[in-house]
Structure 1
Amino acid sequence: MIKENRINILKKLEDRNIIYQVTNKNNLYKILNEKKISLYCGFDLTADSLHIGHLIQLITLKYFQELGHKPIILLGGATSLIGDPSFKLKKRKINIIDNINLWFKKISLQINNFLDFNCGENSAIIINNYEWFNKMNVLFFLKKIGKYFYINQMINKDSIKKRMINNNTEGISFTEFSYNLLQSYDFAYLNKNFNVILQIGGSDQWGNIVSGIDLIKKIYKKKVFGITTNLIIKDDGTKFGKTETETIWLDHQKTNTYKFFQFWLNIPDSIVFNFLNMFTHYTSEIIDNFNKKKNNVKKNSPQYLLAEYMTNLVHGKDNLIISKKITNLLFYKKVHNFSENDFLILSQNIENLYLEDKNFNLQTILILSKFASSKSKASILIKSNSIYINNENISDISFIFTKYHKKFDHFTLLRKGKKNFCLIYWK
């Protein structure tokens, strides 16, 4: 039974639409059927938190670990000083080593929530590639690693070619160009010292992974493998990344749990079942049953099922309960039925605006809340029936706040459109 589970892990990942590409699939199937392996995934330290674009890799590692394989997380303390140019239109911001060391600690704690670091032989481990690159001199790098790479092959990689021919960029620096060599050596180092035979990464890492496979074959005459996972794509077709806008972080201080819950709750119908398949452990029968139902009740929607699962996975049961309570307050409960404690819970989880208890006009408050950038735009929002005070629509540009609008003498719930909230606290 164990052998069957092992050989079917690739099929399982494919059925869940997680796998994008696999090198030498038949041989990898055979090896996974015969023995436990060590595999790794690398994350560069370009911010103090991982984001949802990293979840698929973590979930994939978890699948492998559950079947007895040993997952290794490589955090790129060294490669983060350079920056991966893969499919980036411009050079990454260079970070200082002190920041990278701090981010290593924070991200290590996040990863501890996903993998088991105390389960015997297949316990997960976290490694920093700064440990070996910091000790390496340039002559060794050029002589022992650089000799295996050929410029004509490297510039033909799609990720490099797009940077070189894009007229909106200044090209690519030698520093970034060498990133491919460093990541390839990471794989070789882990193969030699930890017997790692499989690397996984996002689909934009295919070129780097293949280079590492080729390097190991040339240096150690060994056959190793690579898997890439499907990227998480935003509505505009771009991937979720740390340097893009509207990033959904795993750190609750960067993206609070309510916003995290709402992100999954607002996944479009066109992709929600694919997300349920990719991100959750729900069976195909459960997902298919939801797909067949025509239910307009948001709490019984596939989006709600997804939001519950993901918030519990990343932030835990207690934060899920709070996120659901806030969602209920904002979208289902009448404001005049709010308790003072309800307002206090909201104040900790949505945007706040603190104001002196004076006569502010609504246009000014819309600017202060950043719902409008000018009085004229604030006026347009009000006239277009887009503004709500305590969930009551306000269309009067001369609106004046009264004691009636200040619940428990301090709180006013301001809303723009359907989903943008700000809690005003009157001092």
Structure 2
Amino acid sequence: MTYHPKSEFMAVMMERGFLSDCTDYQGLDEALSKGVVPAYIGYDATAKSLHVGHLLNIMMLRWLQKSGHKPITLMGGGTTKVGDPSFRADERPLLTPAQIDENIEGMNKVFSRYLDYGSGATDAVMLNNAEWLDNLNYLEFLRDIGRHFSVNRMLSFESVKSRLDREQSLSFLEFNYMILQAYDFLELNRRYGCLLQMGGSDQWGNIVNGIDLTRRVLDNEIYGLTSPLLTTSDGKKMGKSQGGAIWLNAEMLSPYEFWQFWRNTTDADVGRFLKLYTELPVEECERLGALEGSQINEAKIVLANEVTTLLHGAEAAADAEKTAREVFEKGGVGDDLPTLSLDAAEVAEGISLAQLVVRSGLAKTGKDGKRLISEGGLKVNDETCTDAGRMFAAADFAEAIKLSAGKKRHALVKLG
């Protein structure tokens, strides 16, 4: 649809490509134009770090705050105990309360890089849905909340329907998830005046449920807005790489590796990613994205620097670029490369090249490592080596050894 927004936030969402769908474009736009709108995104604590797949929605919260509204980051201390079944083929493993708390602590490190938290009108707040979910009385909840849900309708939502169509089991525990998420929106509206829930387009059914429930119980008008589920131009899910998830916490993925992920963006995605993941003006994003040949590589460096600066700071971005230039242009050994440190006992009887490739993270398994080496895809100190059984002794580590898988993935191995 063609809609010309009045509010700055809606204009940014539409212009930069964040908007997939909205429950009421005009109603939300008018609410955003009238005053401060508190809006939330929920994050279940399924890992110790957020990953690149979360970054699109974190940027939405950042733009919300920059345009004069109040972001709420809702940690799923309660809902993580159930697990979101949306578009999954199987049930999520159940985590203990201690694991959930540990994961929340790890995830919280990222948000303060993007949002300003405090007690002001547009300061972000961090909440945990365990606050109202942990102490629910089951019978009261069924009578007061459960009666508003139609099982027929719940079964019709694509996230559930796709699981049932494939005859994959959906536990009663998971089936409750959408009721709990809907209840989150109700409680956030009741307690904090929250008017908007945002999320990926896979959350549409859960968001609509929350809006319907709040309307039935409180007779309040609230809104939902979803972002597209991003895939790269070659059809891959955004945020996945050969080495697995692109984590946002530095202890789980070095700033250099994070920078490198963005530097390796496919040419066709550069302009789109600049709009979504940086704050450069739209015209500049489009100009950079339209560059061709070797010039597009400079646009990719701009993308990598801008995104890394937001998350890890300008110094980390500059260090990553310096390391990359040393490695790629001068064939040198960059100080900031991912490093595997071995102790003397590990190399006392020698260690094979295949083991080093796996230990350094350049291959997931020994089998993958041996294939990489035998096919000529691995270099040791910039020289191709096809002998997976080549042994390295302590004396070989007088200086750090550089391993390179292809042109773009590198690691250092050293003693101590």
- Superposition TM-score, scaled by structure 2 size: 0.88
- The alpha-carbon deviation at position 237 of structure 1 amounts to 3.6
How many angstroms apart in 2 are the aligned matches of 1:58 and 1:394? Answer: 43
Secondary structure of 1:252's counterpart equals coil
- The alpha-carbon deviation at position 284 of structure 1 amounts to 2.2
Report the counterpart of residue 101 of structure 2 in structure 1: 101
- The alpha-carbon deviation at position 383 of structure 1 amounts to 5.9
Quick one: structure 1 residues 312 and 194, their matched pair in 2 at CA, closer, same or farther if it must change by over 3 Å? same
Quick one: structure 1 residues 257 and 157, their matched pair in 2 at CA, closer, same or farther if it must change by over 3 Å? same
How many angstroms apart in 2 are the aligned matches of 1:32 and 1:130? Answer: 29
Identity, in percent, stands at 31
Report the counterpart of residue 143 of structure 1 in structure 2: 143
How many angstroms apart in 2 are the aligned matches of 1:401 and 1:98? Answer: 41
Report the counterpart of residue 325 of structure 1 in structure 2: 322
Post-superposition CA distance 1:219-254 (Å, at most 9, x none): 111111000012232555435489x97111111111
Structure 2 gaps of 5+ residues are: none
Kept after mapping to 2: 8 A contact 1:38/1:72: yes
255, 260, 263: which is aligned to 2:261? Answer: 263
Aligned length: 409
Structure 1 gaps of 5+ residues are: none
Secondary structure of 1:191's counterpart equals helix
Query: Is 2:239 aligned against 1:248?
Result: no
301, 304, 310: which is aligned to 1:304? Answer: 301
Post-superposition CA distance 1:278-308 (Å, at most 9, x none): 11111122122223433415752x2111110
Quick one: structure 1 residues 357 and 390, their matched pair in 2 at CA, closer, same or farther if it must change by over 3 Å? farther
Quick one: structure 1 residues 181 and 11, their matched pair in 2 at CA, closer, same or farther if it must change by over 3 Å? same
Query: Is 2:388 aligned against 1:389?
Result: no
Secondary structure of 2:220's counterpart equals coil
The aligned runs of 1:179-258 (5 Å cut-off) are 179-233=177-231, 235-238=234-237, 240=239, 246-258=244-256
Kept after mapping to 2: 8 A contact 1:87/1:163: yes
Report the counterpart of residue 356 of structure 1 in structure 2: 347
The aligned runs of 1:48-59 (5 Å cut-off) are 48-59=48-59
Secondary structure of 1:153's counterpart equals helix
Report the counterpart of residue 314 of structure 1 in structure 2: 311
Q: Which amino acid aligns with 2:237?
A: T
Report the counterpart of residue 86 of structure 1 in structure 2: 86
Q: Which amino acid aligns with 1:233?
A: T
How many angstroms apart in 1 are the aligned matches of 2:214 and 2:73? Answer: 19
Kept after mapping to 2: 8 A contact 1:352/1:422: no
Q: Which amino acid aligns with 2:322?
A: K
How many angstroms apart in 2 are the aligned matches of 1:239 and 1:376? Answer: 23
Post-superposition CA distance 1:83-128 (Å, at most 9, x none): 0111111101111101112222232232111111137211111111
291, 294, 316: which is aligned to 2:292? Answer: 294
Quick one: structure 1 residues 98 and 150, their matched pair in 2 at CA, closer, same or farther if it must change by over 3 Å? same
Give the root-mean-square deviation of aligned CA atoms: 3.1
How many angstroms apart in 2 are the aligned matches of 1:322 and 1:69? Answer: 34
How many angstroms apart in 2 are the aligned matches of 1:133 and 1:363? Answer: 49
- The alpha-carbon deviation at position 188 of structure 1 amounts to 0.5
